[in-house]
Structure 1
C-alpha cells in the first residue's frame, strides 16, 4: 500500500532523515520507533508533504505521490493525526469531526460516520457540544483520531498518540487502536511507548539519527536484545 524508497529529509544543513526505505502493506500496522530526535516525525510528515523531502520516492496504492500537494495526498486516502493532538480548540467536538470530513460530499455518509465514531469514542458523545479546549488531554487525543477517521482513510498515520497521557488513558487509546485494527485499517504508528506499540504492531522499524537501524516484524524486534536496549532503552528477549 505505502512504499518509501531512499527518502531524505533536510532542514537547511540539518539532515533529519537519511535514505530510509520501508513498506506498509494493506491491513498491517507498522510501528516506527526510536529515540527523541531520530527523525520519525520528519519521515511521516514528508509522506504527506509537510516536511522538506530532498530526495527519494513515496508511492501509495501503486502511484508515485512524491510531488503531490498535501490536499491531493489526503484525498488519496492518507491521514495524519499529529503529535500534540492539534484539535481546533474553539470549535466544538461536533465541528471538529465535521471538519475532518471537509473534503467529502456524501452528507448522509458523514452523518453515519459521526455516529459510528461517537459509538467508538463514547466520551465524545457526552462532550459533543463542548469546545475542544474544554476536553482533557485523553479526550482531545480521541477527538484527533476520530477527526482523522472522518476522512475515511485507507492509511491512518499517528504521531505519538500516547504522549503526555496517564497510563490508564494510554491503555484506552491502544484498545481503540486495536479495535480499528480488527476492522482492517492500515496504520503507521510513531510511538515512544515501545511496549504498547509492539503489542499492537505487525512490523516495526527503528530509526536512530535519521537512519534505519532495524526493519522487521514486531516479534523479531522484541527478541532483539541489542536493538531494544541500545535504541529503545528496553530489555529484549
Structure 2
C-alpha cells in the first residue's frame, strides 16, 4: 500500500534527498538553511517558488552526477497532495487508454487509480478507471467482474452527468450480455445506450441481437435505418438477405 500514499511536499523532498544519499546540510546553501529544509520536510514551513526552484535544481544536478533517472520541476515541491493525486490518476488513465501497459500492469495501476480517486473523491476519474478496468476484464472473458466494474462506473458517470461515459458503459454492458448469449438483455442495454451516443453503432448491435434470436425481419428493418454502413454492417445485411 506504500505506493498508494501521496506524500506531502516536504515528504517528497525527504524521499528524493535520501534516495540520492544527501544530508540536509549538503542540500542547504547560502540562501536556504539546513533548518529551513528540516522544517519544510516536517511540514512546519511553507515554500515559495524561489526556494522550490533551488531545491529542484539541486536535486536534478545531484541525480545527474550519480547517473540516477530523476528530473523534477519546482512545482513538485509546491503542489499539494490532492493535486499530485489527481495528476497520478490522470497519468495512469492516459497510459491505459493508449495500451502502453501489459495486462498485469494495467490491473495494478487501475487498482491504484481506483483506490486513490476514491480516497480523494475524484468521481470523474473514479468512473473512468472503473470503466477501463471493466473493459479490460471483459477482454479477458471475465464477464461477471467486468459487469460489476462497469455498473459502478455507470453510477458515477450519472453523478457527473457524463453522457459519453454513460453511453460507453451501457454499450459495454450490452456487449457483455451479447457475448453471454443473453440477447434480450443485450438489446435492453443497447436501447438505453441509444439515448446517449452513436445511433448507427447501436443499431448494428441491436440488429445483430435480433439476427441471433432469429428475428430476421426485425433485424433487416433495423439495418435499413443505418446511414453509414461499414464492412461489418454490410456482412450482416448480406447474411440476413440470404435468409429473408
Question: Hey, which of these two has a bigger chunk of helix by percent?
Answer: 2
| The two structures share one fold, judged by TM-score above 0.5 | no
Q: Which has the higher contact order (CA 8 A, sep 6+)?
A: 1
TM-score by length of 2: 0.27
Question: Hey, which of these two has a bigger chunk of strand by percent?
Answer: 1
Query: Which protein is bigger by CA-based radius of gyration?
Result: 2
